[in-house]
A and B are shown apart, each in its own frame.
Chain A
Amino acid sequence: MNAGLQARFDRLFNRHGDGRAVCVAADHGYMSDVTPNVVNLRPVTEAVIQGGVDGILLSPGQAMRLASYFQGRDGPALIVRVPQRLLTHQKVVTAQQAVELGASAITIYLFLGYNDQIEAIGIEVCARFVRECHQVGLPCIIEPLAYGGQVTGANSVEILTLGARMAVEIGADALKIPYTGDVDTFRNLVDVAGVPVLVLGGARSDYERDALELFAEGLEAGGSGCLMGRNVTKSPDPQGMVEQLCGIAHQGWTVDRALQTEQWDLIKLKAHPAKCTGCMLCVVACVATHDDGSFGTSLSRLRIDPGRKQGQHRVMFCTLCKKCLDVCPTDALRWHPQSGAVELLVDKCTASDECVKICPTQVIVHSDTGIQIESGESLDWYPVVCDLCGGEPECAIICPTEAIFIDQRKELA
Chain B
Amino acid sequence: MDLRRRAYCDRILRVDLSSGEISTTPLPVESMPLILGGKGLGAWEIYHDQSQGVEPLSPENQLIFHNGPLTGTTAPTAGRFGCTTLSPATRTYSDAYCGGYWGQMLKYAGYDALVVKGAADQPVMLVIDDERFDLRPADHLWGLNITQTSEQIRQEFGSEWQSLVIGPPGENQRNLAGIFNDSRALARGGVGAVMGSKNLKAILTRGNGHVTVFDPDGYRRALQLAFRAVRMSSETTLLNREGTVNILEIIDVMGALPTRNFQRGQFEAADKISGNSFREHEWVKDYACFGCPIACGKYTRPLSDGVVIEGPEYETTFAMGPNCAIGDRETIIRLNWWCDEYGLDTISTGGVVGLVMEMFERGMLDAGDLDGIEPRFGDAAAALALVEKMAKVEGCGEWLAQGVAAIADQHPQAQPFAMHVKGLEMPAYHPNAAKGTALAYAVSERGACHLRGAPLGELFSGSADPLAIDGKAQLFRDHQADKAIWDSACLCYFPGYGMKLKELWQLVTAATGFDYPTVRDFELIGERISTLARAFNVREGFKREADTLPPRNLAQPMVGGPADGHVVELAPMLDEYYRLMGWDEEGIPTPERMQELQLLNEDGSRE
Contacts and interface: CB of A to CB of B under 8 A. Distances in A.
A306 interface: yes
B520 A154 contact: yes
A136 interface: no
Interface string B332-357: 00000000000000000000000000
Nearest to B70: A295
Contacts of A32: 234
| Chain B contact patch, size range | 35 or more
Given A152-B478, A153-B519, A154-B520, A277 B225 contact: no
B299 A310 contact: yes
Nearest to A278: B288
B501 A152 contact: yes
Contacts of A281: 74, 291, 293
Q: B104, B479, B519: which has the most chain A beta carbons within 10 Å?
A: B519
B549 to A, nearest CB: 21
Given A149-B464, A149-B471, A298 B290 contact: no
Interface in B243-295: 285-295
B77 to A, nearest CB: 9
Interface in A146-204: 147-157, 180-182, 185, 201-204
Given A149-B464, A151-B463, A205-B232, A311 B285 contact: yes
A154 B290 contact: no
Given A154-B522, A310-B310, A311-B287, A297 B470 contact: no
A287 interface: yes
B387 interface: no
Contact of B74 (A114, A284, A312): A284
B500 A284 contact: no
B210 interface: yes
B362 interface: no
A400 B498 CA distance: 15
B291 A181 contact: no
A318 interface: no
Interface of B: 72-74, 79, 101, 104, 108, 159, 207-213, 216, 225, 227-229, 231-235, 237, 285-295, 297, 299, 308, 310, 436, 455, 457-458, 461-464, 470-471, 474-475, 478-479, 481-482, 496, 500-504, 506, 519-520, 522-523
Q: B101, B228, B470, B501: which has the most chain A beta carbons within 10 Å?
A: B228
A295 B213 contact: yes
B100 to A, nearest CB: 11
A206 B225 contact: no
Contact of A279 (B285, B288, B520): B288
Q: Chain B contact residues: over half helix, strand or loop, or mixed?
A: mixed
Contacts of B295: 277, 279, 400-401
B540 to A, nearest CB: 30
Contacts of A236: none
A182 B502 CA distance: 10
Contacts of B213: 294-295
B457 A284 contact: no
Nearest to B503: A181
In the A-B complex, list the 5 residue pairs whose CB atoms are closest, starting with the nearest.
Answer: A153-B501, A149-B464, A277-B288, A296-B210, A400-B293
Interface in A79-109: 86-87
B212 A292 contact: yes
B232 A147 contact: no
Contacts of B212: 292-295
Contacts of B308: 310
